[in-house]
Amino acid sequence: MTTHILGISAFYHDSAAALVSDGNIIAAAQEERFTRKKHDAGFPENAIEYCLQEAGIGLSEVAYVVFYDKPLIKFERILETYLSYAPRGFQSFLAAMPIWLKEKLFLKTTLRRELSALSGLSKTDLPLLVFTQHHESHAASAFFPSPFEKAAVLCLDGVGEWATSSVWMGDGNSLTPKWEIDFPHSLGLLYSAFTYYAGFKVNSGEYKLMGLAPYGKPQFVDTILDNLIDLKQDGTFKLDMSYFNYATGLTMTNNKLHALFGAAPRKPESEITQHEMDIARSIQEVTEEIVLRLVRTVRKELGVDYLCLAGGVALNCVANGRILREADYRDIWIQPAAGDAGGALGAALSIWHSYLGNPRTSNENGDKMQGAYLGQKFTNLEITDFLDSIGAVYSVVEDKDLMPRLAQILDNENVVGWFNGRMEFGPRALGGRSIIGDPRSGKMQSVMNLKIKYRESFRPFAPAVKFEQVSEWFEIDRSSPYMLLVAPVNRDKLVAMTEEQQKLFGIEKLNIPRSDIPAVTHVDYSARVQTVHKDTNPRFYDLIERFENRTGCPVLINTSFNVRGEPIVMTPEDAHRCFMRTEMDYLAMENVLLAKSEQPEFEQDNSWKNEFELD
């Protein structure tokens, strides 16, 4: 009899559900994709329903429902924090307590009520409800699906119950905790504090800070290291909390920090200045230094050749690239849903392996994430039924004709919405729900940022490259299927800058072509690489191959199929709406092709632009 385990993460940010059956990952999805509310923190009822439907079961057939952290321990941490900082933080205490006393403290009751309403089962007939610790969920999500039989596991995030950084030894089906750094000393919250200071939104703007960093100078590195953090040689650290408000207040930073850096926080949506660029570069370099010291210490202490990473900080792909190049591991593996959403999957896997003691097999040639394509898919018939209902103009084209046609469309500098197979799990679009373009185009970065994504012009795009040819274009010798490693563009692809161009500084560097693929080459000659593999996404691979046959370039721009402030699209309706609201030229949904020029007038509802997160 199959053992089904349902994992849930919820009530903080990025709620999600994942289903594991006899140790195999069946489905996983974030709630935001269903509700269209970015970073939705609510109970993931839609994600749960999807996971059960994918397996063809009801909740009554699930053996365990597991929640990704332990709320009572988290509540203890919050109370102890307020008491230790009293009377500071009283306003924050008053703001936090009602939700805790009404819902979070009695989470078991809340979950049973929600599950009962969802399934129609009485509370006594529900599956057994269990809880894992937050960092245990992260560690399990990183190690158990990895290709390694034995590996060190490093989890770095804002905070779970108490832990903000934790080290584990993964061996077979076991995860053994080794040591941790506890709240309030947090690398994730340090980075988020600077995200806030630079005028971006915490828990979503960290990518922007990382993308902004290469435009700046690291002139505040010593200021940070001399004042804000006591960093040991082994990478462990303590923060000087007199500069931060996050432990007790309603903001991340305070006036003492603002005075130290000579300016108040940037107001969201105001002009980004050189000051913010220098701040971004400085905290990025400090973060990389801390992470490198930590992983070297872990390598020395545990004596293992492999490393797994999870937690929000593991999405810092610049730091990941340096780990790969400089930390002396044979290989590293990063959970693609490294943040809280991935905790749902880790919680389920932890019950199967650690709690139930089931064996685990690893395969050095690949992981168990199925390319992270764990979400919903739609048939051509479902797509055309929807398009017929709204009077859209389309054609249905078989792959043998569609792929060469799309290659030609891309070669002509058109932007294409690409809707293919199962939706990705995690924050990156990986060729399931992507917007794609020609990386050789000098104008494509600004066109896609400003006219398609409606976001800041400095934001870099990622290259999707055929795995077999990644080393011909980038300084990386292994797969990077989840877009979580940054690598330099190969020297023979670079374009030399003129003397005058070399004098440019900051954002002035933006539109200077740096390589044969300028649209995916960042200002520091790096790229956030995604390798595309024939076995996990054959159609996307085929499209890139057809583009290569036509142009000699086995690379496409790949960015997420959404506009700023909106989750990645999930359904044909989401995709069509995004296509019509932007200046995308074509939309390919499975074998269904739409040209913008042929569409009937779309009734624009501009209220959606007002719903953007201001970040």
For residue range 312-355, list pLDDT tens digits in order: 999 999 999 999 999 999 999 999 999 999 999 999 999 999 99
Instruction: Spell out the domain ranges in the chain.
Output: 4-143+336-370, 181-334, 380-611
State how far the Cα of 174 lies from the Cα of 192, in Å rounded to an integer. Answer: 32
Assigned token pair, 537: 């996404």
Element (H, E) at 168: strand 163-171
pTM > 0.85: yes
Residue 283 CA: distances (Å) to CA of 186, 317, 550: 13, 14, 42
Strands 128-131 and 62-67, sheet pairing: parallel
Assigned token pair, 396: 């249905």
Strand locations in 95-157 (E): 128-131, 150-156
Tell me if domain 4-143+336-370 and domain 380-611 are identical in fold: no
Decide if 3 contacts 66 (C-beta within 8 A).
no
Residues contacting 401, CB < 8 A, separation 6+: none
pLDDT digits (tens, 9 = 90+) for 170-188: 999 999 999 999 988 999 9
Nearest CA to 177 out of 166, 164, 188 is that of 166
pLDDT digits (tens, 9 = 90+) for 454-494: 776 677 789 999 999 999 999 999 999 999 999 999 999 99
Residues contacting 94, CB < 8 A, separation 6+: none
Angle at 507 between CA 503 and CA 510, to 5 degrees: 85
Nearest CA to 324 out of 430, 474, 215, 206 is that of 474
Query: CATH number of the domain at 4-143+336-370, out of 3.10.20.30, 3.30.420.40, 3.40.1410.10, 3.50.30.30?
Result: 3.30.420.40
Architecture of domain 380-611 in this structure: Alpha-Beta Complex (3.90)
118 exposed, middle or buried (CB, 10 Å; 0-12, 13-18, 19+)?
A: middle
Architecture of domain 181-334 in this structure: 2-Layer Sandwich (3.30)
Nearest CA to 542 out of 423, 401, 397 is that of 401
Residues of the chain with pLDDT under 70: 72-105, 456-457, 501-511, 604-615
State how far the Cα of 364 lies from the Cα of 346, in Å rounded to an integer. Answer: 20
The owner of tokens 């719903």 is 611
Nearest CA to 342 out of 205, 160, 516 is that of 160
pLDDT of residue 460: 75
Decide if 408 contacts 550 (C-beta within 8 A).
yes
Amino acid at 609: K
Assigned token pair, 33: 């994709």
